[in-house]
Amino acid sequence: MFDKLKPLADRVLVKRIKNEEKTAGGLYIPESAKEKAQMGRVVAVGAGRLDKDGSRVPVDVATGQTVYFGKYAGTEAGEDYLIIREDEILGVVEQ
């Protein structure tokens, strides 16, 4: 369902990247102790926001990029998806 969602304005649809399930020492982390991932892959991007003159300012991220965002950024959209504003994205992870 979320693969067909088109965000509006400067919003971005991000699918969270799962965290490691075990530590470097080999211990498994229980589901209740895990924190939600702060990295994700951009699934869809809105057209951009309108500036004061009414012209469209395009979004700086593109579909397929991996981004890092704040812990409390965006709005949950299902189990693994977030809809966040472009200004809540802290950076793009270079591959």
Domain ranges of the chain: 2-93
- Fold of the 2-93 domain: 10 Kd Chaperonin, Protein Cpn10; Chain O (2.30.33)
CA–CA distances in Å: residue 93 to residues 29, 50, 75, 85: 25, 26, 21, 17
pLDDT digits (tens, 9 = 90+) for 4-48: 788 898 999 999 987 666 666 766 666 565 567 789 999 999 999
Cα maximum dimension of the chain: 56
Task: Specify the pLDDT at position 12.
Answer: 95
Identify the pLDDT of residue 79: 81
7 CB burial (10 A radius; 0-12, 13-18, 19+): buried
Residues sharing a CB contact under 8 Å with residue 38, sequence separation 6 or more, in sequence order: 68, 69, 70, 71
For residues 86 and 91, give the distance between their C-alpha atoms in angstroms, rounded to a whole number.
Answer: 10
pTM equals: 0.81
Question: Each residue of 42-93: pLDDT tens digit?
Answer: 999 999 998 999 899 999 999 999 999 988 899 998 888 999 999 999 999 9
